[in-house]
Amino acid sequence: MMPTRARPTPPAATWVPTGPALLPPLALTAMWFGAALALLLWWQDTQYVSGLDGWLTNAGRLTGLLAGYLLALLLALMARVPALERGIGTDRLARWHASLGRYTVCLSVTHALLILWGYSLTAHVNPVSQTSTLLLSYPDVLMATVALGLLVLVGVVSARAARRRMSYETWHFIHLYTYLAVALAFSHQFATGVDFVDNAPARWLWSAMYLSVALTLVWFRFLTPLLVARRHQMRVVAVHRESADTVSVWIGGRQLDRLKAESGQFFRWRFLTRERWWAANPYSLSAVPRPDLLRITVKDLGDHSRDLGTISPGTRVLAEGPFGAFTARNASGRGKVLLLAGGVGITPIRALFESLPAAPGALTLIYRASAPQDVVFAEELQHIAAGRQARLLYLFGPRGSAGRPDPLQADNLLRTIPDLAEHEVYLCGPPGMTDAAQRELRRAGVGRRHVHVESFTF
């Protein structure tokens, strides 16, 4: 029997405290400080540089140190540390991770080329012969070459054009090779790295950095989910079809309020069946979390999401989370709120529509969909809007259709909501829609810090 749907109780017209706005700049400052320490390590071990070969080799040392530091930082950003996930937000952490990943691959390739060129000039041989000597005579160089190849592979599949052509599960599996690349690169740094061979304090500090990241990963990505599973004993309670290609899955468990999940957040769900146990997929909560019940709503976008429509009640579930800063906690304090959803982006927006504090008449939801039959939660949204005295607007039609202006253009938004610049905006949908909507919201006078975005991409 499917759980009864909770009737929303309008929250009080007061705003929750502003989130930790200083955490992102503090985190960026810490990352730059670490890079500066890596530069300092190279500086103190460099007495003088002469000749083209010396300049090339030292440039290779420097790029290698920075690449090694960024490798550790890449893993730390994706360690799923709750304080970072809630205070900075998964979307922003993922953007930092992707940006630093590109720099890491470029620095690693540059390091290899500069070292080979510098060594070949010193030995008065051609680069091909020098490459053969290094690979055949130094096992750690061979391991480092494998590590470089793995990093390049991960970088290629992370390009937007490549991501569009593969499933989340395939992309995630290939990304696991990053761990192997880091392990191989770490041994190479200590085996031949001039900055570590005769510098015991540097070795200890560098090892402590990598060890700290490794322990953080083990704790938050492996042990914590197992402890959560044992404590909460989650299982599928019911599956409800919302539309032709969208289903809701109700998940029950013990003391789920101890998870401290909030509307707008997501978990990484692992359904323990023979076909699905290996895949942990991110799905947002589509209803306000209850002490004994959580709900996710999933659109058919691939094999895993398609299979959830056939999952059986009683199936055990492992959940990592909650994650994300797409919540009322991180709002800046405005009393008027616009919720803007596109497609499957309605899932976290629906939970926020029910729970965000706002006075009667101060809350608006605009739901962008291709056609009326693509709307989910229609009855629930109507009931919430009536109970909260909120505005509920639907916009239909493909974005950018010929001869029709996009209804999310700034002028159209301002005609619908003349005082839009005074609103706090929560925006969720496909990447193209969210990118365009953010530009139009800025044109309409909404400040960047008043726009909260959750994008359904990986």
pLDDT, one tens digit per residue, over 241-273 is 888 888 999 999 999 999 999 999 999 999 998
Q: Which are the contacts of 95, defined by CB distance < 8 A and separation ≥ 6?
A: none
DSSP 408: T
More confident residue, 1 or 217: 217
Q: pLDDT class for 341, splitting at 50, 70, 90?
A: very high
pLDDT tens per residue, range 195-228: 777 778 888 999 999 999 999 999 998 899 899 8
Which pLDDT score, from 0 to 100, does residue 9 have?
42
From the list 239, 227, 310, the residue with the least C-alpha distance to 276 is 310
Q: Which of 136-140, 186-190, 374-378 has the highest mean pLDDT?
A: 374-378
CA–CA separation, 200 vs 80, rounded Å? 31
Which pLDDT score, from 0 to 100, does residue 400 have?
55
Whether pLDDT at 30 is above 80: yes
Average of per-residue pLDDT across 171-183: 84
Which pLDDT score, from 0 to 100, does residue 367 have?
93
Whether pLDDT at 7 is above 60: no
pLDDT tens per residue, range 378-394: 999 999 999 999 999 99
Question: What pTM, to 2 d.p., does this model score?
Answer: 0.77
Average of per-residue pLDDT across 176-189: 85
Q: pLDDT class for 18, splitting at 50, 70, 90?
A: very low
Q: Which of 14-23, 166-175, 236-245 has the highest mean pLDDT?
A: 236-245
More confident residue, 35 or 303: 35
Which pLDDT score, from 0 to 100, does residue 405 have?
62
Which pLDDT score, from 0 to 100, does residue 13 have?
37
Domain with CATH 3.40.50.80 in the chain: 328-455
Tell me the three state secondary structure of residue 429: strand
Percent of the chain with pLDDT over 90: 43
CATH architecture of 328-455: 3-Layer(aba) Sandwich (3.40)
Poorest-pLDDT segment among 58-67, 89-98, 356-365 = 89-98
* CA distance readout (Å), 214 to 40, 78, 137, 179: 24, 12, 30, 10
Is residue 224 within 8 A of residue 251, CB to CB? The reply is no
Which pLDDT score, from 0 to 100, does residue 11 have?
42
Domain with CATH 2.40.30.10 in the chain: 233-323
More confident residue, 157 or 401: 157
Q: pLDDT class for 353, splitting at 50, 70, 90?
A: very high
CA–CA separation, 354 vs 346, rounded Å? 12
Whether pLDDT at 274 is above 90: no
Which pLDDT score, from 0 to 100, does residue 301 have?
65
Whether pLDDT at 1 is above 60: no
Which pLDDT score, from 0 to 100, does residue 303 have?
59
Whether pLDDT at 302 is above 70: no
Which pLDDT score, from 0 to 100, does residue 139 have?
77
Query: What percent helix, strand, coil does the chain show, rounded to 5?
Result: 55, 15, 30
Which pLDDT score, from 0 to 100, does residue 196 have?
75
Q: In what helix (H) or strand (E) does residue 266 lie, and over which residues does it extend?
A: strand 266-271
Token pair 């402590």 is found at: 208
Domain with CATH 1.20.120 in the chain: 23-222
pLDDT tens per residue, range 62-93: 999 999 999 999 999 989 898 888 888 888 88
Which pLDDT score, from 0 to 100, does residue 3 have?
59
More confident residue, 92 or 339: 339
What fold is seen in the domain 233-323?
Elongation Factor Tu (Ef-tu); domain 3 (2.40.30)
Average pLDDT of the chain, as a whole number: 85
Which pLDDT score, from 0 to 100, does residue 17 have?
41
Class of domain 23-222 as given by CATH: mainly alpha
| Range 52-55 contact pairs with CB under 8 angstroms and sequence separation of 24 or more | 52/118, 52/121, 53/118, 53/119, 53/121, 53/122, 54/118, 55/118
Whether pLDDT at 148 is above 70: yes
Which pLDDT score, from 0 to 100, does residue 16 have?
42
